[in-house]
Chain A
Amino acid sequence: MIFLLLIYALIIIIIVPGLIKRNEWRELAVFSILYIIAFVLGLMYVLDIPIPSPMHGLQRLIVDVLGIKYPMQ
């Protein structure tokens, strides 16, 4: 947990001052969105909260709903 917080604090220290200095607000906004997603995922992983897999969702859609699959060998 502490390791995660340290890494994410370090990322802010490395990236954000440069973006503010160069007035790159759009870059800062996109960075912030991705940063929050990454941090939340990291936090969920550290706290053992189950993270849904996009591939399992996709499998349900393609195999179970649409019925597209190769026959079992």
Chain B
Amino acid sequence: MSIEKGKISSLQLLFLIAGFVQGSGLLIDFTVGITEHQTWMVVLAGLAVTTPFFLSYVVLAKRFPGMNLVQINDMVYGRVLGKVISIYYIFFFLMTLSFNIRDVGELYITFLMPDTPFIFLLAVFTATCAYAVAKGIEVLARVSHLFVFTSIFAIISTFILLIDQMDFSNFLPFFEVPFMRIFQGIHIVSVIPFGETIIFLVIMGYLNNTGHAVKNTFIGLLIGGLSLFIISVTDTAVLGRTQTIWTSPSFQSIRLIDIGTVLTRMDFLIGIAQTVLIFFKCSLFFYTLAVSVSQLFGLKSYLPVILPLAGIEVIVAATVFQSPVDHAMITQNTGIIYSVPLIYIFPPLSLMIAKIRDLPKVERSKGT
């Protein structure tokens, strides 16, 4: 029995994935301090590294149609080990969602509304996400193209408005950053946001037709990846080496928009566009968390767990890090290391085990 009644098309899935990845536009800042002017290379390399793993998620979802990640884990690893792995995934969803909610709070406290209480911003944002999640995946999927087009508009218009301040010599010299830092940068980008697309293993179970799933999900990932690439190019071209000293280089570069002293202070508008995109990403994460928790406990619906989870998320987001520096330091090390098995090991392993045990067929024949 499915706990979600709604269905989504593979075209909607394309926009969901693209919007989800674009929602991490501000999060490439974690990499900038490490990879400096070579961040654009790291974004492309991160996309290339994650693509085979991402395709393994899609193939896994196609192999287990109508099933979400928790159900797949139960079937592949057995009830006990499957539940343990699912709890590990739920912890990842819980923590990553709290980081993203905190990101919004930090963005507003630092740049837009410095006098507003931090907890109030977190509570309002989480409540809005909870409302979207309560409406179901179909509603989010129906509006997903609007989020993607908003993001593309914001990214391209920022790029065009900043062209006069760009200095492309900022990209030189190539390959100056030591290999270890490039490797860490690729690791960060391949987890945030590309690896986070693991949440779609929960959502892809509600596809009404898995026919074009591989092609459409890949295009979605590509749109998101290219958007991040344009953001990283804009930041480096505009800010140069100074981009490493800012808390949020992408936001700082937007602040520099000045067209004839008429078109200035665009940061508020772009800030709103960014908030909308992070809202979309957080809603998808929240939905995944609520569905996974409900599936773990064998509930009929995920609706009763939304508000208590929102309450937990607000407090975890408020207390998980002591400062933005603490946030960046932990994310650049522990945050990306503990999620490695979830993103790179379990999905391909599940696929391999499913192939060896011929799992869905065996289960189907048992059922008949």
Nearest chain B CB to A17's CB is how many angstroms away?
Answer: 12
Number of interface residues of B (CB under 8 A): 36
B184 & A70 in contact (Cβ 8 Å cutoff): yes
Find chain B residues with CB under 8 A from A39 CB.
311
Nearest chain B CB to A37's CB is how many angstroms away?
Answer: 6
A27-B299, A34-B309, A73-B34 given; A62·B338 CB < 8 A: yes
Nearest chain A CB to B2's CB is how many angstroms away?
Answer: 16
Residue in A14, A28, A55, A62 whose beta carbon sits within 8 Å of that of B307 in the complex: A14
A42 & B319 in contact (Cβ 8 Å cutoff): no
Q: Is B45 an interface residue (CB 8 A)?
A: no
* Complex alpha-carbon distance, A69 and B305, angstroms: 35
A-B contact count (CB 8 A): 94
Q: Is B321 an interface residue (CB 8 A)?
A: yes
A42 & B311 in contact (Cβ 8 Å cutoff): yes
B334 & A62 in contact (Cβ 8 Å cutoff): yes
A30-B299, A73-B34 given; A53·B319 CB < 8 A: yes
Secondary structure at the B interface, as helix, strand, loop or mixed, is helix
Find chain B residues with CB under 8 A from A55 CB.
95, 320-321, 330, 334-335
Find chain A residues with CB under 8 A from B330 CB.
55-56, 59
Among residues 3 to 56 in chain A, which have CB atoms less than 8 Å away from a CB atom of chain B? 7-8, 11, 14-15, 19, 24, 26-28, 30-31, 34-35, 37-39, 41-42, 44-45, 51, 53-56
A42-B315, A51-B315, A53-B321 given; A58·B304 CB < 8 A: no
Find chain A residues with CB under 8 A from B333 CB.
59, 62-63, 69-70
Find chain A residues with CB under 8 A from B338 CB.
58, 62
Q: Is A1 an interface residue (CB 8 A)?
A: no
Find chain B residues with CB under 8 A from A24 CB.
300, 304
Q: Binary interface profile of B, 317-333, with partner A (CB < 8 Å = 1, else 0)? A: 01111000000001011
B312 & A41 in contact (Cβ 8 Å cutoff): yes
22 A-B pairs whose Cβ atoms sit less than 8 Å apart in the complex: A11-B311, A15-B304, A15-B307, A30-B297, A31-B305, A34-B305, A37-B308, A38-B309, A41-B312, A42-B311, A42-B314, A45-B319, A53-B321, A55-B334, A62-B338, A63-B333, A63-B334, A69-B334, A70-B180, A70-B184, A70-B332, A71-B180
Contacts from A to B (Cβ < 8 Å): 7-8, 11, 14-15, 19, 24, 26-28, 30-31, 34-35, 37-39, 41-42, 44-45, 51, 53-56, 58-59, 62-63, 68-71, 73
Closest 9 CB pairs of A and B: A38-B311, A34-B308, A41-B315, A59-B334, A51-B319, A31-B304, A35-B308, A70-B184, A38-B312
Other than the given A30-B297, A31-B305, 19 more pairs (CB < 8 A) read A7-B311, A8-B311, A26-B299, A27-B304, A30-B299, A34-B305, A38-B308, A38-B310, A41-B316, A44-B315, A45-B315, A55-B95, A55-B321, A55-B335, A56-B330, A58-B338, A59-B330, A70-B180, A73-B181
